[in-house]
Structure 1
Amino acid sequence: MSGQIIGLQDWFATPPGRYLLAWEQAQFDEAVADIFGYHALQLGATEIDGLRSNRMPHRWLALSDPLQQPARAALFTDFAALPFAANSLDLVVLPHALELSPDPHATLREVERVLVPEGRVVICGLNPASLWGMRQRRAHLYRKLGFGEFFLPEGGEFIGYWRLRDWLRLLSFEVESGRFGIYRPAVRSEAWLERCRWMDTAGERWWPIFGAVYFLVAVKRVRGMRLLGAEWRRATARATAPVPLAGKVHKAEHAD
């Protein structure tokens, strides 16, 4: 299987796809706007511009499928072997890149390798414990029986929110924020999606962990390392300032 879900681009053009895309784009715009540094990378999902509100001078889009024809410049690479030095990137965003990857563990380990200490990773993924996830599992069962169709694109494997947090913790990431979204039922009609608009507000209040998609921001921690602020310069200046020597002062007084 390639690193991309079959039919993902076409699915994003459907009513539920546009609904999902709008929510995720808004989350990325808000999350990355105030993350500072020099080098940022997005892995996959050309339909989402996860870095458009970020102001880092060097931003890249990486894709794993050379057959794709992205609308903007991109580099093609294996997500498990990124062409960046260790500790060289300040931000990596992964819109569905893990669930679309043939080896999500290797992809996440590679993200940890290329991020600088205190660098951030921003991830969104489909939630298996949701109405959309349940409909997709039902479709897999029906397909084995010879009928039925998928609501979401067929490829890829859902990764649960808490499972992903465990993976991040094992790699010494600390989750800074996490949230769920998309509470309308798994329907294809735009009219029915609009009729169920009220479920977004109700879902955030009454059943937040059952949103169709989750979104989280995590920071790479390095044990035993503490970043120094501007205060260290003042401390260094005090330490290197000339200090009068008591012996020299004493000799000068004796000579008088």
Structure 2
Amino acid sequence: MLAVIDNQYQIDLSKPIDISIPLTNTEENPIAWYIEKPVIEPVVFGDWIGKVSEGKSSTNFNNIFFNPHGHGTHTECLGHITNDFYSINQSLKQFFFFSRLVTVAPEKIGEDFVITKEQISNALNITGSSHSQAIIIRTLPNQEDKKSKKYSNTNPPYLSEEAAVFIRESEIQHLLIDLPSVDREHDEGKLLAHKAFWNVKDTHNLNSDARFEATITEMIFVPNEIKDGDYLLNLQIASFENDASPSKPVLYAIETFDI
């Protein structure tokens, strides 16, 4: 199935590139923020078990216990860091965006590996056009173990405050990254990159120019064979009235043509 946008871009909708990590109840599930793996188990009422293979139910009927921030690909709004409640379901009202995929190798700064403003600036200047509404950051090394990594107490790479400001000032609304957080794991609650990207100056008294419609998606995985450049992003979430939701970002290659 082909879609044409603005009589200029052709999208083959039959070739999606899923960059989400599935949620499972196995040891293969990635974990961050010091929690245990997700729980997926059948409902039990007395001797009735909601599992067809157990022979007492005509349906599979599972409860699922998980944390969107710690158990896989998720999309969050500024309500993640504010005193007042804001929901991702109310913040994200559009779902298709022109996006830019860039690859960076975080720089060693002291004991940390940091994605710098210069790296983001260079990557955006090198790849493609300037109409991006979203940036997708793939970090190096990019190994398959990202899909099952246990991040707690490992001090993963993160985004510098200056890089987050640059992304915001580039008028990019949606930031996607293959790390558990855009901020340092142990940062004394400063959350510098989150605040810079959402333009939040005071989490208890929100400024009027804070970016209510902007989102951050963390713990994605972009296979190495997917080339840097411009894509159409379909950012799918579940309709949770919560600061974050598990999400399924999907990319589509963009072809330009003349009509």
User: Shorter-chain TM-score category?
Assistant: under 0.3
TM-score, normalised to structure 2's length?
0.27
Larger radius of gyration: 1
Higher helix share: 1
Q: Bigger relative contact order, structure 1 or 2, given CA contacts below 8 A and separation 6+?
A: 2
Task: Using structure 1 for the length normalisation, give the TM-score.
Answer: 0.27
Higher strand proportion:
2
